[in-house]
Structure 1
Amino acid sequence: MENPASSERSALLYGLAAVLLWSTVATAFKLTLQEFSPIQMLFVASLVSVAVLLLICTVKRTLPQLASTFLANPKYFILLGLVNPLAYYLILFKAYDLLPASQAQPLNYSWAITLTLMAALFLGQKIRKQDWLACALGYLGVLIIATKGDVFALSFDSPLGVGLALLSTLLWASYWILNAKNKADPILVVLLGFLVSLPFSALLVWYEGLSWETISMRGWLAVTYVGLFEMGVTFVLWLTALKCTQNTAKVSNLIFLSPFISLILLSQIIGETIYPSTLIGLVCILLGLVVQQIKSKKRKINCLDNR
């Protein structure tokens, strides 16, 4: 049996690996969208994700549970799959198509703030004073990023892109609320979501009628990378990290590294201009997330257990 110190080291290594991989996906999104439409990208990345998740479930010997898990509540899993990955990723990819990734990615980070408000509305959870402060900081950051710092002018380069990025946070938060009381194996749940969404994304690809012939090898490699490391392997690494640790908050806080690493990669690989307003807005969003994590001593253990 692994000793606690070794287990914590493993958790940090898994967590860091997941964060580093997630830091690269904004760059991979933009590279892929140079050659794929958002729906083509969703369809191919989903195929890759299904393949890798089937392999992982086979290795973990949980694949025989797939059918019984779905049949236990088919309507629920169909709804879950339509929300994520179908609607969430289609809207997120379109937002990345319309906005610089250095704007779309920080805007997407405000999903945890959205989750607080939705949990109060749909789960009856109480919103604390620091939650309101977190929301104010988070959405101030969103406004700063979306307007490139010209907050009072309320001038957006792409109002539709900003709207879609914020809608993606609503969908992602909705997915976690729908998933809140689900006791099934989380990797099987993700796999079922992709299996449910594949026929719908295939129909949308057919309806769109775009050509695949002009896509280069770089495009195919980029979309495969997205399927592997945004939707597949990284999720498993993150779940493993949380399973190995006794200090969920310590591992969860690693995620704050991701947006800054991502901005560096976007600047160096894609050549995107990183505006000072983007950094200021991102800091506001992350400060909001830090404030949101402040727990009273009485509630601390329960909140960490329920992350």
Structure 2
Amino acid sequence: MNRATLVGCGAILLWAFLGVLARLAAGVPPLQLTALSMAVGGLLGLGVVAARGSLGLLRQEKRAWAHGVGGLFGYHALYFAALALAPAVEANLLNYLWPLLIVLLSGLLLGMPLGGRRLLGVALGFAGCALLVGGGARFPAGALPGFLCAVAGAVVWATYSVTARRLARVPTEAVAGFCLVSALLAGALHLAFEVTVWPDARQALAILLLGLGPVGSAFFLWDLGMKRGDPRLLGTLAYSIPVLSTLLLVAAGEGRADERVLIAALLVAGGGILASWQRPRRLPA
């Protein structure tokens, strides 16, 4: 595993806390939460870029801005909406279709070989998601829009992650600008469509932690990993997030880890482990 791929793994660890921190901010409308958390993350990134004297790297072509803002804003607005509209544990697990979609899209869009083992791992992941929402599972009325948001967010993030490979010349520092523009876009849409909620101490802490971690530094780590590391390996290793994230949500009292949820999480994670497994190379004698 090269250094860039290892850096991308840091983002995976941070994203395990995305769900529980989002639920900690429950009550703040999705677009407002997107705007505030991304503003924190963007300002953090801007400070780092300024300290390095690299503000000039924020000047990028329109295609790069459309890709960056579309991916960051689209994913997080959909994810926060999913957790607000549907049961947190199930919506969170459905959202983690994105790692297996990265594996598939890496083959379809980048021409990277998949192989039978990776495809079998992807199939196990899909089976876990099917078990999660099927098999007689009961959900509150109105949960369907939240589940659709979770799946749509997965598609957006997988597409953003894989196509980042084609924009490898765009420096990671530019992500700070993408975050700030995403925050402005989310803020404008919030003012147009939502009622503002002033965060209390708990919600404010959650927003700060989101901006510093999963919605902040994780972007930079992931961008570097996807552009210079192995997107197939990162996509499959990201299957560890559903189990960790689900356990954190359950520990926070945001859901119940019944038999169906546990089996679904293990199928998703197990599929990722199978898909990412590589035979060790023999050293020359």
Question: How does 1:152-191 map onto structure 2 within 5 Å?
Answer: 153=136, 157=140, 158-184=143-169, 186-191=171-176
Of the structure 1 ranges 77-86 and 224-233, higher mean CA displacement relative to structure 2 is found in: 77-86
Question: How does 1:119-198 map onto structure 2 within 5 Å?
Answer: 119-147=106-134, 150=135, 153=136, 157=140, 158-184=143-169, 186-198=171-183
How many Å separate the matches in 2 of 1:167 and 1:231? 18
Aligned partner of 1:275 in structure 2 is: 258
Q: Contact 1:38–1:93 at 8 Å: present in 2 too?
A: yes
Deviation track 1:217-246 (CA, whole Å, cap 9, x = no partner) reads 211221121111112123446678x69xx9
Q: Could you tell me how far 1:126 is from its partner in structure 2?
A: 4.5
How many Å separate the matches in 2 of 1:178 and 1:263? 28
Q: Which runs of 5+ in 1 are unaligned?
A: 1-6, 301-307
Q: Could you tell me how far 1:28 is from its partner in structure 2?
A: 0.8
- Choose from 90, 94, 100 the match for 1:113: 100
Q: Could you tell me how far 1:21 is from its partner in structure 2?
A: 3.7
Tell me, yes or no, if structure 1 residue 94 matches structure 2 residue 78: no
Amino acid paired to 1:202: G
Q: Contact 2:99–2:239 at 8 Å: present in 1 too?
A: no
Q: 1:112 to 1:141 in 2, by over 3 A?
A: same
Aligned partner of 1:45 in structure 2 is: 37
Please say which structure displays the higher CA radius of gyration.
Answer: 1
Aligned residues: 276
How many Å separate the matches in 2 of 1:284 and 1:25? 21
Aligned partner of 1:24 in structure 2 is: 17
How many Å separate the matches in 2 of 1:83 and 1:288? 29
Instruction: List, as ranges, runs of 4+ consecutive aligned residues in structure 1 with deviation greater than 6 Å.
Output: 14-17, 246-254
Deviation track 1:227-277 (CA, whole Å, cap 9, x = no partner) reads 11112123446678x69xx99999998755544333333223235211221
Which TM-score applies when normalising by structure 1? Answer: 0.76
How many Å separate the matches in 2 of 1:171 and 1:22? 16
Aligned-residue RMSD, C-alpha: 3.5
How many Å separate the matches in 1 of 2:92 and 2:74? 17
Aligned partner of 1:265 in structure 2 is: 248
How many Å separate the matches in 1 of 2:234 and 2:75? 25
Aligned partner of 1:211 in structure 2 is: 196
Q: Could you tell me how far 1:125 is from its partner in structure 2?
A: 4.2
Amino acid paired to 1:199: L
Q: Contact 1:31–1:222 at 8 Å: present in 2 too?
A: yes
Which TM-score applies when normalising by structure 2? Answer: 0.81
Amino acid paired to 1:226: L
How many Å separate the matches in 2 of 1:254 and 1:125? 17
Aligned partner of 2:27 in structure 1 is: 35
